[in-house]
A and B are shown apart, each in its own frame.
Chain A
Amino acid sequence: MADKIKITVQRYRPEQDREPWDQSFEVEYTRETSLLEALNSIKDTQEPTLSFRWSCRMAICGSCGMMVNGVPKLACKTFLRDYAGQEMRIEPLANFPVERDLVVDLSDFIEKLERIKPYIIPKKGESQPGEQREYIQTPAQLEKYRQFSMCINCGICYAACPQYKLNKEFLGPAALTLIYRYNEDSRDGGKEERMKLVNQDTGVWSCSFVGYCSECCPKGVDPASAIQLGKVESAKDYLISMFKKKGE
Chain B
Amino acid sequence: MFRKDRSDEPIYWGLFGAGGMVVAIALPVIILATMGLTHSLTDTVMFGEIILSPLPSLVFISLMILCTWHALHRVYHTLHDLNVHVGTLHHLVIYGLAALISLAFIVCWAILVFKNIF
Contacts of B81 in A (CB 8 A): 162, 166, 208
| B5/A235 in contact, CB under 8 A | no
| A234/B80 in contact, CB under 8 A | no
| B7/A205 in contact, CB under 8 A | yes
Closest chain-A Cβ to B96's Cβ sits at a distance in Å of 19
Closest chain-A Cβ to B103's Cβ sits at a distance in Å of 23
Closest chain-A Cβ to B6's Cβ sits at a distance in Å of 5
With an 8 Å Cβ cutoff, the count of chain A residues facing the other chain is: 16
Contacts of B80 in A (CB 8 A): 166, 208
Q: Tell me the complex Cα distance, A203–B6, Å.
A: 9
Sort chain B's interface into a size bin.
10 to 19
Q: Tell me the complex Cα distance, A235–B6, Å.
A: 11
Q: Which of B5, B10, B81, B85 has the most CB of A within 10 A?
A: B10
Closest chain-A Cβ to B53's Cβ sits at a distance in Å of 34
Closest chain-A Cβ to B65's Cβ sits at a distance in Å of 19
| B13/A200 in contact, CB under 8 A | no
Closest chain-B Cβ to A110's Cβ sits at a distance in Å of 23
Please report B residues at the A interface, Cβ cutoff 8 Å.
4-7, 9-11, 13-14, 77, 80-81, 83, 85
What are 26 residue pairs bridging A and B, where the CB atoms are less than 8 Å apart in the complex? Answer: A162-B81, A166-B80, A166-B81, A167-B85, A196-B5, A199-B6, A199-B7, A200-B4, A200-B5, A200-B6, A200-B7, A201-B4, A201-B7, A203-B7, A205-B7, A205-B9, A208-B77, A208-B80, A208-B81, A231-B13, A234-B7, A234-B10, A235-B13, A235-B14, A238-B6, A239-B10
Please report A residues at the B interface, Cβ cutoff 8 Å.
162, 166-167, 196, 199-201, 203, 205, 208, 231, 234-235, 238-239, 241
